């Protein structure tokens, strides 16, 4: 079976993770018809239980920056998301066995919070529920994109679903199909890759002391431990990058107590006793940066454009800002009755995003490299830097605004 669809104001999005779903909802709010292609079959769900884990709706958590919260407020989604989110009112940064420490306190910075932590499975559920209700979004899941071509007028894809072959065309195609993007490869766009030789151990834990909406970043010999508050007074998310090849030491029920003991030793007694751990998952960590993000009528977005280390929780927030800026460029084209896939416009979007992207990428990479080195001189310098951050006037508001995505 073959179907063919094209329209002046039709956009194809390849990749139905959190970035693809969010972008589709943004476009639909501006009366743009979207065909959203996803390789994996979307899960079915009912009631109020968390959505079954799916490609990117998994065990990980996302710390939504204040800017990301504002974007979801403008989409009318924040009330539904807030039910499953926990605000971060303080951020504490320390290094195990060292004197340096830094704190950010929302009240002192005169903000409601630094962001909100939400489990990806809940974020995915809310986004997918809204997409399924949107008549301007055509969900096409369980399909494999096998071809991407374009000419002066249209971008075209072919996709297979069982015995069905779909041929779709649009003025604009958005490739949000992940770190190993087929679309990026089909366009011949190269990447720069840095393997951090780490995997992230991800889970949720229960502690004997309440989290009080405090997020912690604790640099240790095993790796940078992030401990963030979750809904429920005693639940916290754990993201712990450790050396690749050691993951078997931390996974599986038989290692539950070993994992909790390691957390306790690394983190100390600030959270009281680490009492329970959920199932643990691991994800390889690398930096993947596309050489181009706009090629003809195609925009590369999300992890297909830039996959970065989760150390500062900036990856998805950066992608959401990309999507919001692209939306602004597209709506300006519509207001002026211009082509929404005009290559020159897409190149202008790419240039408009480079400064924010490069700043975040450099920051995350430098933190990982700087705190992964046990050289005594470097250790002294970074701890002195943490102390300076905590006491020198003017630094905290600047850093806080960047972390909240308000200076992008």
Please give the share of the chain, as a percent, with pLDDT higher than 70: 82
Average pLDDT (77-91) is: 91
- Distance, CA of 34 to CA of 20 (rounded, Å): 10
pTM of the model: 0.86
* Six-digit token string for 225: 């431990």
CATH class of 2-370: alpha beta
d(CA 104, CA 92): 7
Q: Where do the structural domains in the chain lie, given as residue ranges?
A: 2-370
Identify which of 176, 212, 215 has the alpha carbon closest to the alpha carbon of residue 404.
215
Question: Cβ-count burial of 274 within 10 angstroms (0-12 exposed, 13-18 middle, 19+ buried)?
Answer: buried
Query: How many Å apart are CA 304 and CA 187, to the nearest integer?
Result: 12
What pLDDT sits at residue 398? 46
Q: How confident is the model at residue 375 (pLDDT cuts 50, 70, 90)?
A: very low
What's the pLDDT at 94? 74
132-145: average pLDDT: 95
Question: Is the pLDDT reported for residue 194 higher than 90?
Answer: yes
Place 404 in a pLDDT band, splitting at 50, 70 and 90.
very low
Query: What local confidence, expressed as pLDDT, does residue 42 receive?
Result: 87
Q: What is the pLDDT of residue 383?
A: 44
Q: Which H or E element spans position 54?
A: none
The pLDDT of residue 387 is above 90: no
Contact 157, 144 (CB under 8 A): no
Max CA separation in the chain (angstroms): 67
pLDDT recorded at residue 347: 98
Residue 50 pLDDT? 61
Mean pLDDT of 138-162: 94
């Amino acid at each position: 079976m073959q179907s063919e669809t094209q329209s002046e104001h039709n956009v194809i999005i390849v990749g139905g993770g959190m970035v693809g779903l969010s972008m589709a909802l943004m476009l639909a709010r501006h009366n743009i018809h979207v065909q959203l292609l996803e390789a994996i079959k979307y899960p079915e769900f009912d009631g109020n239980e968390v959505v079954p884990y799916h490609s990117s709706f998994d065990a990980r958590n996302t710390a939504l920056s204040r800017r990301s919260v504002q974007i979801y407020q403008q989409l009318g989604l924040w009330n539904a998301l807030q039910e499953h989110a926990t605000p971060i009112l303080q951020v504490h940064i320390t290094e195990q066995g060292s004197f340096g420490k830094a704190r950010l306190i929302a009240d002192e910075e005169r903000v409601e919070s630094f962001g909100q932590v939400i489990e990806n499975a809940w974020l995915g559920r809310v986004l997918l529920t809204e997409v399924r209700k949107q008549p301007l979004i055509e969900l096409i899941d369980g399909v494999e994109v096998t071809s991407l071509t374009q000419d002066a007028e249209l971008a075209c894809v072919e996709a297979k679903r069982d015995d069905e072959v779909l041929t779709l065309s649009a003025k604009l195609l958005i490739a949000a199909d992940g770190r190993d993007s087929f679309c990026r490869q089909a366009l011949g766009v190269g990447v720069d890759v840095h393997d951090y030789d780490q995997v992230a151990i991800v889970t949720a834990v229960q502690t004997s002391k309440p989290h009080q909406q405090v997020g912690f970043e604790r640099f240790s010999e095993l790796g940078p431990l992030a401990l963030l508050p979750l809904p429920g007074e005693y639940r916290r998310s754990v993201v712990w990058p450790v050396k690749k090849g050691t993951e078997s030491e931390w996974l599986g029920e038989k290692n539950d107590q070993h994992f909790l003991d390691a957390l306790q030793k690394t983190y100390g007694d600030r959270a009281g006793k680490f009492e329970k751990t959920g199932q643990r998952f691991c994800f390889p960590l690398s930096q993947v940066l596309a050489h181009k993000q706009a090629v003809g009528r195609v925009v590369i977005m999300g992890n297909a454009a830039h996959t970065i280390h989760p150390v500062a929780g900036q990856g998805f927030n950066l992608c959401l800002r990309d999507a919001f800026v692209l939306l602004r460029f597209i709506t300006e084209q519509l207001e002026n009755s211009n082509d929404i896939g005009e290559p020159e416009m897409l190149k202008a979007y790419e240039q408009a995003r480079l400064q924010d992207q490069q700043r975040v990428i450099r920051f995350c990479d430098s933190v990982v490299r700087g705190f992964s080195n046990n050289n005594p001189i470097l250790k002294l310098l970074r701890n002195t830097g943490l102390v300076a951050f905590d006491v020198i006037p003017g630094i905290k508001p600047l850093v806080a605004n960047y972390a909240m995505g308000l200076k992008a």
